Amino acid sequence: MGTAAEKSRWGVLERTGAPRIYEKDEMIYLQGNHAEEFFYLKSGSARIFLSSENGSEKTLSVVRPGGIFGEAAFFDGLPRVSSARALVRSGIIRITRRVLLSCIRQEPQFAMELFSRLALTIRMLSAQVDAATFQQADERLARLLLSLADADGLVRATHEDLAALAGVSRVTASRILSRFAARGWIKTGYRSLIIHQARALRALAHEESERV
C-alpha cells in the first residue's frame, strides 16, 4: 500500500544503504524466528501471512513499495508471529537497531512516524479479528473499511489487500466495493478509496446504534 506520501515518510530509510534483492517467492523471514531487524520495501511487493500446523496459510497483508513490515516482533523482542515472502522480484532494505538509531538521530520525527505505523498495525489486526466472526462478506468489508479509514474517510488499500484482510476472494471484494460505489457510499481511487457515506456502512455493519 505504499503511496508517494509513505515513500516520503520513510525516505530516511532509503538512505541507509543499497537494498537486497529477493527473487519471486523467496522467503524474507519465517514465523517463529527471532527478529533482528525489520524491513523497508523499496521496490516489488511482499506478502505477509500466517501458517498453521497443517500447512494452510492466511494472508494478513500485501506490502507495496514504500511500506515497512516485520516491525512488531522487532520492537517487542518476541518470536515472529507471521512470515513474509516476495511476491515478485523485490528490493528490500534491512533495518537493524543500529540503523534505526542512526535514522532517529538524523530525523527525530521519524520515531513518531514509527509509533503511528504500530498503531495502524494494531487497528488492522483488530479489524481482522472482527472479520473472522460469522458475518456476511458485505458486512465484513463494511466493518473493515470503517476500521481502516482515517479522519478524512481515506482508506489506503487495494482490492487485493481488502480481500485478504476480510477473508474473501478478490473477485468478491471487488464486486461488493463496486456495489458500495454505485450506491455512493464510497469512491474508489488508485490503491485507495474514500468513504462518503459512513452511516450507511455502519448500518450494514450493525454498528449504527454505537455511533449515531
Span 9-65, pLDDT tens digits: 677 787 877 899 999 999 999 999 999 999 999 999 999 988 877 777 878 888 888
Q: What is the pLDDT of residue 150?
A: 86
For residue 191, tell me if it sits in a domain: yes
pLDDT of residue 127 exceeding 80, the answer is no
Same structural domain for residues 103 and 186? Answer: no
Domain span at 175: 133-211
User: Per-residue pLDDT averaged across 132-158, rounded?
Assistant: 82
Same structural domain for residues 99 and 195? Answer: no
pTM for the predicted model, two decimal places: 0.57
pLDDT tens per residue across span 66-124: 888 998 888 888 889 899 999 999 999 999 999 988 888 888 887 777 777 776 666 66
User: Per-residue pLDDT averaged across 128-146, rounded?
Assistant: 73
For residue 32, tell me if it sits in a domain: yes
Q: What is the pLDDT of residue 196?
A: 96
User: Per-residue pLDDT averaged across 118-145, rounded?
Assistant: 69
Structural domain ending residue among the three candidates 117, 141, 162 = 117
SS3 for the chain is CCCHHHHHHCHHHHCCCCCEEECCCCEEECCCCCCCCEEEEEECCEEEEEECCCCCEEEEEEECCCCEECHHHHHHCCCCCCEEEECCCEEEEEECHHHHHHHHHHCCHHHHHHHHHHHHHHHHHHHHHHHCCCCCHHHHHHHHHHHHCCCCCEECCCHHHHHHHHCCCHHHHHHHHHHHHHCCCEEEECCEEEECCHHHHHHHCCCHHHHC
Same structural domain for residues 113 and 15? Answer: yes
Confidence of residue 134 (pLDDT cuts 50, 70, 90): very low
Comparing 89 with 128, the larger pLDDT belongs to 89
pLDDT tens per residue across span 164-210: 778 788 888 999 999 999 999 999 998 899 999 999 999 998 764 34
Structural domain ending residue among the three candidates 73, 90, 117 = 117
Q: What is the pLDDT of residue 156?
A: 85
Tell me how many domains the chain contains: 2
Same structural domain for residues 81 and 142? Answer: no
Same structural domain for residues 146 and 194? Answer: yes
Structural domain ending residue among the three candidates 117, 142, 160 = 117
Same structural domain for residues 176 and 102? Answer: no
